[in-house]
Structure 1
Amino acid sequence: MSSKCYITVTFLAGVALAVSACTLDKPADVDPAGTASISSALENGDDDFCSVENQCGIGEADCDSSDECLDGLRCSFNVGADFGFDPDVDVCTCPAEDRLGTSTFCSALCPCSQGEGDCDSDAECESGLRCFSNVGAQFGLDEDVDVCADAINGHNDNCSTSNQCGEGEGGCDDDDECSAGLTCFNDTGADFGLDPSTDMCATCAPPSRLGKHDFCSEGCECDEGEGDCDSDAECAPGLTCFNNVGADFGYADPDLDVCAACPPPSLNGGSEFCTPECPCEGGQGDCDEDEDCAGELVCRQTAGTDLCVPPDAV
């Protein structure tokens, strides 16, 4: 350690005064706290390069245990030759394949690829993949293992606003989680070979929705005997949406509106029940002319109602 001295001269009332002072210089290589890292003097591959305080990254060595590697890495023994070190050097690496399915296999440093787990979040999966919960059985792992995959049709997390599902894909929570033009239909998984409670994205309502309020729509028009319709526009060309006729077509709900070419029996007596396209049988009405009656029947007023009757009954 060396010293430096300085002399300062000042004048006071014409008298010169000299003041001297000395300082001590500290050597440049002294660590005053005594905390200089041992590893700072070591090189990658040296015996003590990795430690609990100075954890190593992927491909760094030499480690003695996984605690000396960054989280998600393991200390692989005697693999130095694979990384350009001496053969007996232990190196921090991603988990070995025999750890597939364990809680430490996927990490941000070692993201899992398609079908691998166990992951805790999307960040532990390769780019473009997501972490799906409790799907291990589909990939030959324990059923409660969370697995990285691009999509798992029917899984609760499969559809989202940022990853909209296409035709025949589920489960969605609402229409916003389906691609443009598709609807999220509740509890229709069975129509697509999935769990019946799965909500599916589709253009038109699947068969299991027959009789539901959303089964008929413009663009997905209903055929003969199908409902529920809201207007003729929701029925196939040539069909009419008849209100409250569900019972005529075997539906449990009598208030169901159904598409049909001709009025069902429950509308007998209505003003539009008999037409040339749907002629009435004997005793049915209301008809307006003979052409509204089937065969040789004629339209005659009976008890204040126009009915189709045989000619000889006139």
Structure 2
Amino acid sequence: MICRGAEHCCHRSYGSLCEVGEGDCNEDVDCAGSLVCGTNNCLKYHAVGGFWDESDDCCQPKCSIENPCVEGEGHCSGHNTCQQGLLCGASCIDTAYFSKKLFPAQVGFYNSTDKCCYRPCNEHYNRCGLNEEHCLNDEDCLDGYFCDKDANGRRFCADVNECDRDGKYYCGRNAVCENTIGSFNCNCTAGFSNFQAYEGCSDINECATDPCDGNECINFEGGFQCLCSEPNFKSCNSGKGCCDVDECELWRTRVSESNPCPDRSLPGCWNKKGSYRCADEVMFFNGGFLQRKTGDVIIWHFTDRMYLPVHDYYWGVEDAKVACREKGYTKANRTLNSYYGYRMTKYRMYHVKCSGSEANLFKCGVGQFNVLKTTANTAGVQCYN
């Protein structure tokens, strides 16, 4: 220790610069490095006695609990030696925190081991995001955030609810402002699209896409209404669509006892959109439609009120010829395993045994009628002349 309390022992001109706790000093320049000369503070470091008394001034760190430093000052020894909102720890010559433009005196006054007080959130070099602490003003936070303070005085960057401010005006009519972290979105309400800033969303003409399946469509702002053509269509989807009325299904399930196809020469009822078809007792199913040339063989069942398939057990070319002859064709190929997609587990005919000369399938031998099976194996034909 150079000085132990002698009056003005610390003196720059004499080359006796004092360290922490040494005194007596008169000016900051009497202290080494970044230390400063305190006031009546030596008894913090020493007991009364010798040259020490309560009026002695000792060198001390510039930053202390009693005299916390401002931004860019050091050497600090802890966060509590910096003013509120600042932290201790950045190198005093780190230009990432202390630019030469804002802190021109840093270089030359401090060395690389000196720690200075710095702002974790600073509009000039490190703007903070959500819940990051130690901002001093809104500019210290990223766009979309503001500097908030809780009941304990803690300052932090919080999300700006733009929808409570200008967002609702920016979104305009027929749009809902949705706040997000650091920003916001404008979402068009149902029935509207094509958002334009400050104007909002425009009406969608839903009728342009024929949502009513060929029925009358009435467009209005924010929605539309289908006027369905009864009795072939009925309103569905809360008035936003027209659903086909399956007259054949109503007859099959006995919801209606009005037979759509009372003519026994065309007993088969087959539904199609907006209507139905009355077809022959024996028809061919192909791709969802009834045909007379190619497809899986199906036969109308009067009691079940529906078409049931013919099983392909021992189904041969002679059997296929008979099925095709009924439709006016002289030649045929057979298909198996529900080749055209008609799959059921109840069969109108099982094990058909034709010689090839019969007028129709009912003239052939049949192992069983109206039989249940666990697999779908429908017989089919490809008719030609």
TM-score by length of 1: 0.36
Flag the structure with more relative contact order, 1 or 2, with Cα contacts below 8 A and sequence separation at least 6.
2
Larger strand proportion, structure 1 or 2? 2
Structure 2 length-normalised TM: 0.31
Higher gyration radius (CA): 2
